[in-house]
Amino acid sequence: MQILLIEDEQKLAGALREGLSAEGYTVRVARSGEEGFYQVHTEPFDIIILDVMLPGRSGLEILKTMRDSGIRTPVLMLTARDTTEDRVRGLDTGADDYLVKPFAYNELVARIRALLRRGAPDLGARLAISDLEMDVVRHVVTRSGKPLDLTAREFEILKYLLQNQGKVVSREMLSRDVWKEVSRHTPLDNVIDVHIARLRRKIDQQFEVKLLQTVRGVGFTLRAET
């Protein structure tokens, strides 16, 4: 069993590594947010123990990015006392459990065992509307069971729309969250419209029920309409 421990407190990280290794786990330690972020996205682990307060990138940021990219490894969060808000945000973001520092070592081991028994929960790995389904991990999109051939960008746009069902997604949102354009020095509106048009052709053209709707003057939304 491979454990990734993202913890910047050297003494604690060292003690946990020693203890967990003695129990038979293979423990990799990342000592900063950046290092942890890198590890999460390069190697598979069975469980991730994630400190919230980290230099570089916060634990919550790492958690959000990993869940957004479909990584469902169980996460046990370590939070400081009196940070209820962090705990709530962590659980909302997709943490599976948390421990408040300082904690008893035995408690940690018990939580790890429980999470490993439970296995990876199904957190956003599959997104769907009507008969359109997206498997985020395998990067497969089907409609009525028929695979659709989307480019990487079209896939990201559709994923974003699926994650925001019930809302209208504006061009600003797509620009910021899919194209990652922080400032709007380069207006992307035309580029976005071209991609949306192609995506619409691929997901809707051959089907009677149309899913990708334009909300005039606002943006786009997914809704089944005949």
59 vs 219, beta carbon nearer Ca ion: 59
Compute the least distance from the CB of residue 55 to Ca ion, in Å.
8
Q: Does 96 bind Ca ion (CB under 5 A)?
A: no
Helix (H, G, I), strand (E, B) or coil at 131: coil
DSSP strand pairing (146-148 vs 140-143): antiparallel
The piece of 50-58, 86-94, 118-126, 170-178 that touches Ca ion (CB under 5 A) is 50-58
Q: Which of 1, 12, 53, 191 binds Ca ion (CB under 5 A)?
A: 53
Strands (E), 88-168: 97-100, 126-129, 132-135, 140-143, 146-148
Helix (H) or strand (E) holding 19: helix 10-22
Which residue's CB atom is positioned nearest to Ca ion? Answer: 53
Question: Cα separations (Å) of 75 from 89, 117, 156, 183, 196?
Answer: 13, 13, 24, 33, 35
CB of 81 to Ca ion, least distance (A): 13
| Rounded least distance, CB 33 to Ca ion, Å | 9
Residues 7-26: x/- map of binding to Ca ion (CB under 5 A)?
-x------------------
Pairwise CA distance, residues 80 & 67, whole Å: 22
Stretch that binds Ca ion, among 17-25, 45-53, 188-196, 198-206 (CB under 5 A): 45-53
Between 51 and 96, whose beta carbon lies closer to Ca ion? Answer: 51
Task: Please tell me whether residue 35 binds Ca ion under the rule CB under 5 A.
Answer: no
Nearer to Ca ion, 6 or 212 (CB): 6
| Binding flag, residue 51, Ca ion (CB under 5 A) | yes
**Of the candidates 149, 18, 123, which has an alpha carbon nearest to the alpha carbon of residue 71?**
123
**CB-based contact 10:35 (threshold 8 Å):** no
Cβ contact 172:184 at 8 Å: yes
The distance of closest approach from Cβ of residue 171 to Ca ion in the complex, given in angstroms and rounded to an integer, is: 39
CB of 28 to Ca ion, least distance (A): 17
Q: Tell me which H or E stretch contains 189.
A: helix 189-204
Number of residues near Ca ion (by CB under 5 A): 3
- Contact footprint for Ca ion (CB under 5 A): 8, 51, 53
